[in-house]
Amino acid sequence: MNIYLNGRYLTQKLTGVQRFAFEITKQLHECYKNDLIILLPNNIDICKSYNDIQFNIKNIGINKGHLWEQLDLPIYLLKKSKPLLINLTNSAPVLYDNKISTIHDLSVLYKNWYNKFYSIFYKFMIPRILRNSKKILTVSQFTKKCILVNYNIDADNITIIYNGISKEFEKIEKNIKKENYILFVGSNNKRKNLGNLLKAFQSLNDSNLTLKLIGINKEDLKNYDINFKNIECLGHIYGNKLYNYYRNAKIFIYPSYYEGFGIPLIEAMASGCPAIASDIDVFKEICDDAVMYVDPHDYNDIKDKIFFLNNNKKKCSELVDKGYKIIKKFSWKTESKKIVDCINKI
């Protein structure tokens, strides 16, 4: 029997949620081969950041975006006698119930981090996706607790699927010669806390240190009052090139107010880069004591922790060693087996 997978994410940029979906899709393809059919809208190209795609892809429908997902996708599946549909991002067709769905986080519920339409849409969608899915996947104990607090869902119906370490990050290298830069990998969403990071970095006033921002373009920072001296906006970078930026960074910093998981932190640890992270529950769950924690609301605390790590080789080495131990538990192959178990039970 064929299993179908919602492949709309392949038309989107490869950010954290899409990274999860892509890596899990690769693992499920290894398991099911051509019995796993990836459904995509017609007349839309796969984003160039996804390489080495060997999936069994079928293009369907006449619409695109959310309209394709909510109309074309369920109509096609109903004509196929309602096979199982796997959804790996925060969205799924609400009128189709033979599905596994994934909720990465509930950030739309908490702060004004998104535009009004986006927030209203997902506040409407999420409870309906949760109610009529055969199984719910999520990426941390933290997010599972958030779901249970906010919605009347059976805890046994939620399976935690951690993110994993991608192929480029699997090689462990020690005694790497570091360059004098701090690295941030993320987006310009308000919950990523770029404002306090930029204030902290500029208040350091260290001409020997550079802040490199991956996933950020210069125009993303037009609303910030900053001097771009020693700040580099590098845009989107993937694969081995991204790994090299992590590997050569003196410090990685991730000062988010809220996350469902935090893939960049495990990528930093896998690359031998000492990390500073927000003192929030999900990061403690993922990183334990392998990073240095900071108050994301206090840019002076961020500045002080950067200064401390930048001048403390012993602490950096300690964090790197702990990080290498932590990342052993994050495997796409291991986590995908949990999804196979869910499929088998359904």
| Superfamily, domain 3-164+331-345 | Glycogen Phosphorylase B; (3.40.50.2000)
What is the DSSP code string of 215-254? T--GGGGTTS----TTEEEEE---HHHHHHHHHH-SEEEE
Q: Which residue has the tokens 């104990």?
A: 141
Helix axes of 194-204 and 299-310: crossing angle, nearest 10 degrees: 50
Over range 114-138, report the average pLDDT.
94
Q: Please, which residues have CB within 8 angstroms of residue 10's CB and are 6 or more apart in sequence?
A: 22, 38, 40, 46, 47, 50, 53
Which CATH architecture best describes the domain 167-328? 3-Layer(aba) Sandwich (3.40)
**Does the pLDDT at position 333 exceed 80?**
yes
Nearest to 292 by CA among 264, 258, 252: 252
Query: Are 3-164+331-345 and 167-328 equal in CATH topology?
Result: yes
Domain boundaries of the chain, sorted by first residue: 3-164+331-345, 167-328
pLDDT in tens, 182-232: 999 999 999 999 999 999 999 998 989 999 999 999 999 888 878 788 999
Q: Ramachandran region of residue 130, left (φ > 0), alpha (ψ -120 to 50) or beta?
A: alpha
Q: What is the pLDDT of residue 171?
A: 75
Q: How many CA atoms lie within 13 A of 252 on its CB side?
A: 31
Q: What is the pLDDT of residue 154?
A: 96
pLDDT band (50, 70, 90) for residue 110: confident
pLDDT in tens, 248-287: 999 999 999 999 999 999 999 999 999 999 999 999 999 9
Strand partners, 59: 40
